[in-house]
Amino acid sequence: MEMNRIKNSISYLPVIGFLFLIASLPFYYGWFQRAALYILGVSYVIDYVINQRWKDWHWSKNKWVYVAFIGFFLLIPLRQCCDENITSLFSKTIQNYLPFLIFGICGIIGITNKWRMEYATWIMLLTSIVVLSYVLRHVGLPDWNNYNIWCLSFNQILHQNVNTHMVLNLYWNISIILSLFVGCCTCYSKWIRYGTLMCMVFPLFLVSVTDGRTGLLTLVGIILILMLYMLYRYRRWWIGLLTIAFLICAYIALMQHGRFVDAVNKTNPRVYIWEVALDMIKEKPLLGYGVCSSRLEFVERGLKDEDFYNSYAQYLQQDFIKKGKPVDMSVMHPHNALLETWIQFGIVGVLILCVLIVLSLTMHLGKYQLFLNLCIFAFLLQSIFESLGNELKPIYLCLLVLLWHSQYINSQCNNEQASFQPR
């Protein structure tokens, strides 16, 4: 009896690890995130061995996505063998892409029914409240007479002490999706469900006040997809009117956003960045340049390009000068996940990445597939404007796939038959 209690307690160790990891994701990548990732992987293996879960192991089609995770990670050391340049960027890339390996192994081993999407949702909402409270402590409540100035101060504190708007907006948009799931599609009491939906106002507010254009556009896309889904499912004329009204309001709101106006009035600096990356791809489309050589070549070509330098490198130099630090060229990257993968690993890396995404979008998860696809949509939209191995940590994609898969497994174990029905 005592041994069974110990084994059951051990099975919760990976759950504690992944909750700690989720709570740490909004902040700059550091030792605590790496520690949480390692603890999660080690505790998962310990649970697998002690509880003898190999006895119930079986293969399923959904596990192919985890094979793709591992395959994508292995591209780094395999391609680096042919790369003559070895820099500190190699070890940094290994660390950033390590979630593909760890979560890939966890997914293939098998997921226990101890993992719950609700836990992740509440941790993300709580973290959002903590971040908001921390920033407001420094900048105070919104000053409506000087709202633009207040927003500038708000974002400055965020960037200096928490993380960039790309990472934060992705985190908050995902927390909104999970909150909608818990609030509308679970069997908890109405107080828990309504309380979860009310707490969703915190990430909604945070997305609206940050200077990230992509995050705000992603939020609009998420709401629009859900409204179109409801229109398709229920075919009510008033849902169609609400959808049209939402599109009009969203357009007005986006045009009031300062950075959207700037994007319309002048060329986005990313255009010049992508041009440099595309020129590199044209020269080595099949094998790419490798992790280290690709970054060195990208920086060298970029500094020789006048438009690139004026729009990107010069900005970075000024930014680092303000912080009193030397320029870190490792932060210069293509700002696009596909382009970054192509110049690093060639067409093979692009194909594996595409297979990984397609497998994630087409997993057999029943009613949960819609929510996983919404999360992947948020990830993909931001990956158009940010590199995979820098701001868009692979941990987001890996964790989302594993969490929704675990939710499906859990529902199968509990014989849940509820359909996607807003309450």
**pLDDT tens digits for 24-83?**
888 887 777 888 888 888 888 888 888 787 887 888 889 999 999 999 999 888 877 766
pLDDT band for position 85 (cuts 50, 70, 90): low
- Over 80: is that where the pLDDT of 403 sits? yes
83-100 burial, b at 16+ Cβ within 10 Å, e below that, comes to: bebebebbeebbebbbbb
Contact 301, 278 (CB under 8 A): no
- Over 80: is that where the pLDDT of 326 sits? no
Contact 105, 41 (CB under 8 A): yes
Tell me 146's DSSP state: G
If one compares 113 and 35, the residue with the highest pLDDT of the two is: 35
- Over 70: is that where the pLDDT of 273 sits? yes
- pLDDT tens, 172-194? 999 999 999 998 888 888 888 89
- DSSP H/E element including 56: none
If one compares 74 and 249, the residue with the highest pLDDT of the two is: 74
User: Mean pLDDT highest for which of 4-18, 248-262, 284-298?
Assistant: 284-298
Contact 382, 218 (CB under 8 A): yes
Tell me the pLDDT of the chain averaged across its residues.
82
pLDDT at 261 (0 to 100): 57
Q: For the residues 252-268, what does the mean pLDDT come to?
A: 63
If one compares 172 and 213, the residue with the highest pLDDT of the two is: 172
| Residues 6+ positions from 91 with CB-CB distance below 8 Å | none
Q: Which contacts qualify for 7-10: CB closer than 8 Å, 24 or more apart?
A: 7/50, 7/51, 10/43, 10/46, 10/47, 10/50, 10/51
pLDDT at 421 (0 to 100): 47
pLDDT at 391 (0 to 100): 65
Q: Going along 215-300, which residue ranges are E strands?
A: none
Which residue shows structure tokens 């050391």?
77
- Over 90: is that where the pLDDT of 351 sits? yes
Q: For the residues 343-354, what does the mean pLDDT come to?
A: 93
pLDDT at 423 (0 to 100): 47
Structure tokens at 405: 């898969």
Look at residue 16 and give its three-state secondary structure.
helix
CB atoms under 10 Å from CB of 222, counted, come to 20
Structure tokens at 310: 């004026």
Provide the CA 265 distance to its chain's centre, in angstroms: 29
pLDDT at 177 (0 to 100): 93
pLDDT at 132 (0 to 100): 92
Q: How big is the chain, counted in residues?
A: 423
138-166 burial, b at 16+ Cβ within 10 Å, e below that, comes to: ebeeeeeeeeeebbeebbebbbeebbbbb
CA–CA distance, 146 with 139 (Å, rounded to integer): 12
- Over 90: is that where the pLDDT of 10 sits? no
Tell me 327's DSSP state: -
pLDDT band for position 130 (cuts 50, 70, 90): very high
Q: For the residues 389-409, what does the mean pLDDT come to?
A: 83
pLDDT at 56 (0 to 100): 79
pLDDT band for position 377 (cuts 50, 70, 90): very high
3-class secondary structure for 170-221? Answer: HHHHHHHHHHHHHHHHCCCCHHHHHHHHHHCHHHHHHHHHCCCHHHHHHHHH
CA–CA distance, 11 with 114 (Å, rounded to integer): 7
Q: Up-side HSE of residue 349: CA atoms within 13 Å toward CB?
A: 28
If one compares 289 and 324, the residue with the highest pLDDT of the two is: 289
- Over 50: is that where the pLDDT of 417 sits? no
Q: For the residues 244-250, what does the mean pLDDT come to?
A: 86
